[in-house]
Amino acid sequence: MIRALLYDPKQQAHTEGGEELIAIWQKSTDAQIWVDFYDEDPLSESQTMQSAFGLHPLAISDAQRTRHPAKIEGFDNNTFILLKGLNAQTTTIEFGTIQIAIFVEDRFLVTRHSGVSISIDKLWTEIRDTKQVSTRGPDGIAMRLTRFVVDRYLPILLDLEQRLEIIESEMIAHPQDTLLFELVEHKSNLKKLRRIMAYHTEVFRRLRSETWPGVGVDRKHEINDVYEQLERATSLASLYHELVSDLQDGYISLASHKLNNIVKLLTIITVIFVPLSFLAGLYGMNFDNIPELHYKYAYYFLLAIMVGVAGCLLYVFKRMKWL
């Protein structure tokens, strides 16, 4: 699917359509266009990008890959930015990603995404319904799009904070293995998220510190804004990753403590019954010459001795604070 938004700065009017708007844009000297590619045949897509906009084949190849780290690359007249956005189904830290490629030049913005992009759809609707965004030029639209992409990461991180607080409370009150499994999954997702944020931060660090074709110097504040959001997201991801690790260690410590208490109780029971078992075994042997066997009160004496031994051991354990 190819959709396009053509903006005429003279009339300050938008025209929404498809690939046919590219020809109209090419004939104009001052019109601006945003062309969005999604679910298009890769060969046809590549040909259109090269013939209509002169995009580099290697950049197009990177844009069409299903997996590629975020990057930025400058060419003669345009800048290529590749981001990893969240897919449309993501609402929690159990996230999925899509590739979002952005080619920005003075008169055009070309985007390409590997799946449905909420960020692109949101910005597309905003531009279609208002003129203010388009008047800022393709680079202004591109920076606004990057902000939308980054903004989707923050809510899932903030929601995770609330969930971790609940897990901590449940872990103390009713520790269960399912909580540990959930913590392991969160730790894995946060590790992936930190890696994604690290690539994005490097992209915008370079974007704000260097000059790039098609990106005006007046976009400095917008670039800084996105960079600061990325730093915040990176900081939160690192903080929650450490918190999850601490909760894991805490759960394992609680489980070990509980196991130690059980082992201690079983050991005490064993220690108490060992001498009792010895006495029972000794007088349970079938020998005729055991003097006590024929004593009238031998049974009661033996029971008293066994109770006394058990009582003494319990007293000792109590004094040593093992019970």
At 12-23, the pLDDT tens digits run 778 889 999 999
Distance CA 49, CA 248 (A): 49
| CA 20 vs CA 6, 11, 17, 23, 39: distances in Å | 10, 20, 7, 6, 18
Architecture of domain 257-319: Up-down Bundle (1.20)
For domain 2-253, give its CATH number from 3.40.50.1000, 3.30.460.20, 3.40.50.1100, 3.30.70.330. 3.30.460.20
Q: What is the mean pLDDT of residues 251-260?
A: 80
According to CATH, where is 3.30.460.20 located in the chain? 2-253
Q: Return the pLDDT at 321.
A: 75
Whether residue 131 is predicted with pLDDT greater than 80 in this model: the reply is no
Q: What is the mean pLDDT of residues 44-51?
A: 92
| CA 274 vs CA 203, 290, 300, 306: distances in Å | 70, 21, 20, 11
Helices and strands (DSSP H and E) totals, the chain: 9, 7
Q: What is the mean pLDDT of residues 198-218?
A: 93
Q: Find out whether 215 and 72 touch, Cβ atoms under 8 Å.
A: no
| CA 237 vs CA 99, 203, 231, 243, 253: distances in Å | 21, 18, 10, 10, 24
Q: Find out whether 111 and 146 touch, Cβ atoms under 8 Å.
A: no
According to CATH, where is 1.20.58.340 located in the chain? 257-319
Distance CA 268, CA 93 (A): 46
The DSSP code sequence of 204-248 is HHHHHHS-BTTB-GGGHHHHHHHHHHHHHHHHHHHHHHHHHHHHH
Task: Please report where in the chains the tokens 């604070």 appear, as a residue.
Answer: 321
| CA 316 vs CA 54, 87, 322: distances in Å | 89, 65, 9
Q: Return the pLDDT at 134.
A: 57
Distance CA 104, CA 111 (A): 9
